[in-house]
Structure 1
Amino acid sequence: MPFSEKFQKTAVINFRILMLVNLIFLVLALFANFWLERWALLIIHAITGLAFLMLYGMSNLRPNYQGYPRIYLAIMAAYFYSFFWYGHIDTYDLIWLLLFPPLVAFLIEKDRELILWQGGFILGVFIFFIAAMQDVWGLVYPPMLIGAVLFSNSFISVLSWFNHRYKARFYAAQEAFQNVLEQRVEQATQTIRKLNDELEVSQRDVVMRLGEICEVRSKETGQHVQRVSEYSRRLAELINLPEDEVQLIQDASPLHDVGKVAIPDNILNKPGRYDEREYSIMKEHANIGYKLLNSSPQPLLQAAAIIARDHHEWWNGKGYPNHKAQENIHIYGRIVAIADVFDALSFERIYKPAWSDDKILALFNEQCGVQFDPRLCQLFLDHYDEFIALRKKFC
């Protein structure tokens, strides 16, 4: 049973760590054999160490090659078998052969290959056992000791194989659980995203309807707030605001005159010019709108509050309600100021007839840098035909 891909990546790292540990122990063995004057084993350890160094270097140069663990096991098998001839009976070097089954289980992924490696190694030990029984090949260990190693190796191989199967199943179950968990998380994320999208759509619809209610009360058509919303979006795009702010301005601008709900009908719908007192009351709708919306923590209503407050301010500081000037006027307010005036002049109101496009164009040319942000105003004039097309589209 193959391990998961995640485990395979971990196995590559573990293999390199194993190589480093082997090299450390080989260096220690070199010193020990030199001290004990065991020259044959010193040479064997030196050759094995060089082979490991080469293998470690290759694993860094070509990390994706899958054959390194098998090369390592072949080297280790030859290394362990050499003890039958060059080991010392008084130090029991043969005991190191018991490490081979765990090494195979540590490095080999598939059950069948694991059985082949462990079975092949045990078969080799068995052959050496027969050779010792026949007293051939000049082996240094007696048959009894080799037989004990053969039995121990077989027993450890069976245990390591069971452990390997358990580990493989554990990682497979872990991967399956991880996949199910990821699917559930993805489903939950999609559900939340869908609900959030629906909430945003509902919020935009509520804002638009509320803006239309305010306009209807002042005897204007509800399409005014929709057109102001579209003009504002286009201006925000022309000035290269981030897309999230472009969307925010489009969604918030319908509430630019929400404060008019607090203005008396006799003033709001007066057909003639306001006197000084009436105009003073009418100007309060900007502050009223801000106060109505500013207490909300929602970004949409926060933006709407800024627009309600600032869209009647003038670039030269002669607007209302706070006589702000130039960059002190929020960019949202400066954008909606142009959109609102353009649409208001384009259609008949209770206090005036609709203006011609040429007359509107002349006014904006005069008011660039006076009433309106000069940069925004120039962009509006440069794309005047686009705004006329938007007006016709939502008329």
Structure 2
Amino acid sequence: MNVLVLDDAQINVTLLCHLLQKLDDCRSISFTEPAKALSWCAVQVPDLVLVDYMMPEMDGVAFISHFRQLPGCADIPVLMITANSGLELRYQALDVGATDFLIKPIDRIEFLARTKNMLALRRSQRFLEDRASWLNVEVQKATAEIRARERETILRLSRAADSRDPETGAHIIRMANYSKIIAANLGLSTDDQQLILEAAPMHDIGKVGIPDSILLKPGKLTPEEFTIMKRHSRLGYEILAGSSSEMLNAGAVIALAHHEKFDGSGYPQGLVGDAIPLFARIVAVSDVFDALTSERPYKAAWETERALQFLREGSGQHFDPACVNAFMAGLSEILAIKNQYQEDLSQQKEFGAEWGIQT
């Protein structure tokens, strides 16, 4: 236990340090200048402070006031030593954070007793701090494990939806990472970037409720068939909404609104501009770009420049201009992901590596 001793008189410092030697597991650090003592405390937090009241540069009350403002020093026991037994001084010292008092001349037995009590208090504080830190680490570990299982479950469900769709498993990985890049370039927080990376793969999960005759039709859908196809956005929302999981709720919002268009001509609600949730506006750009540049049974893959031109022409109509600009700003990263993950990932046995792409 580190005990800081502060007194402008060296003889008093020597006396106190000598008395502290009688206590087990106790080391004294002494100063005669308050400024130097504060500098030391700014780097290392003591377990107990013994401070004289009458000092020329800074009295004990002022020292305690400054000490309490240092990081980690708000609850450290402070024992003020003074020849002044007046109540007014005690009130001032208590007001700024003194824990206890000793009146000069110091009685050896009283000094050791009060010091032991203060150190016992500090040991209890340290035990609780260590316990709290340990619990925090354990909670973080448990939360991380739960979140990892949640991510794997969501990815498998998303892949299950994709298995009925003529899109490859790589599609959901690419478009999720495109979405994360857009979010980063829009200035979203790191947490939101991670959230959209994890939630974006659920955008088409509602396709599990669309008949194969429509979902897998090689040609153009009739108006009646397209009406049925459009139901997948609401189906996805109904599957995911109402969960206690932030990730699932974000997925629900994306599933419902990623086919909305900035000019209000999208579905299912015909939302306009900023009324469309931001995550859905982001996913709309990344999903369309990847769909256009990917080969499907009913179409050949578009050249990259043609797809980029489609995004530019659709800016302000189909797409949020800010999201298109953010996409273009991250184009080099997006093309790197596009080129790297072209294979069908459905044969892979491990899902963790997929989810970690560009995180």
| Alignment TM-score, normalising by the size of structure 2 | 0.68
Q: Which residue of 1 aligns with 2:49?
A: 8
What residue is the counterpart of 1:377 in the other structure? 324
How far 1:390 sits from its partner (Å)?
A: 1.6
Q: 2:206 — aligned with what?
A: 259
Identity %, equivalent residues: 33
> Offset at 1:182?
1.6
Inter-partner Cα distance in structure 2 for 1:207 and 1:58: 62
1: CA distance, partners of 2:113 / 2:326? 70
- Seen in structure 2, the aligned counterparts of structure 1 residues 106 and 348 have a Cα distance that, compared at 3 Å, is closer
Q: In 1, Cα distance between the equivalents of 2:125 and 2:55? A: 34
Q: Does 1:59 align with 2:59?
A: yes
Contact residue 213 and residue 222 of structure 1 kept, 8 A: no
**Is the aligned partner of 1:304 residue 2:299?**
no
Aligned residue pairs, count: 275
Root mean square deviation of aligned Cα: 3.2
Could you tell me which of 319, 338, 342 is aligned with 2:289? 342
Of the two structures, which has the highest relative contact order with CA contacts closer than 8 Å and spacing of 6 or more? 2
1:394 aligned partner: 341
**Aligned positions of 1:180-195 closer than 5 A:** 180-195=127-142
User: As a proportion of its length, which structure holds more helix?
Assistant: 1
In 2, Cα distance between equivalents of 1:163 and 1:255: 69
Alignment of 1:248-327 (within 5 A): 248-327=195-274
AA at the equivalent of 1:8: V
1:79 is aligned to: none
1:212·1:223 contact (CA, 8 Å) conserved in 2?
no
Q: Using the alignment, how far apart are the partners of 2:206 and 2:55 within structure 1? A: 78
1:167 maps to what in 2? 114
Contact 2:102 2:111 in 1 (8 A): no
Q: 1:69-88 residue pairs with structure 2 within 5 A?
A: 69=81, 72=83
Amino acid across the alignment from 1:107: L
Question: Counterparts in 2 of 1:212-231, with a 5 A limit?
Answer: 212-231=159-178
In 2, Cα distance between equivalents of 1:342 and 1:62:
64
- Cα deviations by residue, 1:161-185 (Å, 9 ceiling, x for unpaired): 5444333323222222322222122
* Alignment partner, residue 355 of structure 1: 302
Unaligned runs of 5+ in 1: 16-53, 74-104, 109-113, 119-159
More strand by share: 2
Q: Secondary structure at the match of 1:211?
A: helix
* Matched position secondary structure for 1:107: strand
**For the Cα contact (< 8 Å) 2:258–2:284, is it kept in 1?**
yes
Partner of 1:239: 186
Aligned partner of 1:265: which letter? D
